Structure 1
Amino acid sequence: MNASPSPATAPPRGRPRSSEADAAILDATRELLAEHGWAALTIEGVAARAGVAKTTVYRRFSSRTDLAVAAVAQLVEAAMVPIDPDCAPEEQVRRSILATADVYRLPAARAAYLAVLAETGRDADLRRAVDVQVLGPARTMIAERLAMGVERGDIDAAAADTQADLLFDVLAGTLLHRMLVRGEDVDDAFVETLTRTVIGALGIGPHTA
């Protein structure tokens, strides 16, 4: 009898996940949300649009809520600019505004985000999932940026403790209202005005090295 393969040489169990399938599934979810809204979103419809088997979708997401939250969370993740410790606070804010604007210039991204947010008013479970998986990481990054500002002496510690949530609401709320609700683009003048507003609210003057 042949010996069983050792753990080091044994083939992996199951099939590896496909990054192409993951991308296709989330793209399809946003497209269907944008075209038909929350009520028409189904696992079957996403599978058909993505060109994958229904079981492929179910291996990754157990429900349309999981699908929708992941699809929107990916948008927010794409807009999150890595923290640069050598970057002045105003430039970090400016980069974040521009990155978010780039994501939501895509019509499917805007419509999908609005469709999910609209449904959170009727679905408490969806609201909690959005708060934890979509908004939570963005809030955490802002808190980390403020903590770095405190350590560097740019931001007062008391201001950082009390204004993390407010800063998130100002940045996200202002940008998304302009682009998703009013349907207006983010031009250079708007970027500079919002940047100065945020920096002023935090009590930060022009940064000097």
Structure 2
Amino acid sequence: MQDTAPQTEVLAENLARHAAKMAKKKAARDKIMATKEGEKGLVIVHTGAGKGKSSSGFGMILRCIAHGMPCAVVQFIKGAWDTGERRLIEENFAGLCQFHAMGEGFTWETQDRARDIAMARKGWEKAKELIRDPEIRFVLLDEINIALRYDYLPLDEVLAFLRDEKPPMTHVCLTGRNAKEDLIELADLVTEMTLVKHPFRSGIKGQKGVEF
């Protein structure tokens, strides 16, 4: 019969080394966390060519709802779409989350720049109203980066409002690809979604539950 004692000893040594390594890592992490005491309302940007910008923003909205935090969504581009997140919020959580669909589709669909600008302005005015509301803790500005990219809204005006008028404890998340560099500079938290592979390039259209 093979002696299992050496194997047991090796296993015990490996477990002890792992425990020591994790204890050291925890001590270092606890030391870092001890210096993080402040809280503030964040300006958050989700950008990049990859999928997940709006999805991540709506994930944060659901977190707020779960915590009983009043929140709001302003959609700048996808307002004409019947999306799952819009149905979910309006049918189940309207008491905690306002949903304002202000856009009418991507610019190549509307083919009316003047109308796009007017709708973007209307959305921005609603966004400012919601952000100023002291009861609302989180505001998602879905696809506003697209409106800024096409100059439907003045970037300087948006930056000045976020810098000077946003309440100190209100979080604001701005989604959409091609976020302006000045917005990225102003933001507290920026995530860039990197495109690695997408089924659209293989001829697969956007699908329910994945894209909308």
Q: TM-score range by the shorter chain?
A: under 0.3
- For normalisation by structure 1, the TM-score amounts to 0.24
RCO comparison, higher one (Cα < 8 Å, 6+) = 2
Per residue, is there more helix in 1 or in 2? 1
Larger Rg: 2
Per residue, is there more strand in 1 or in 2? 2
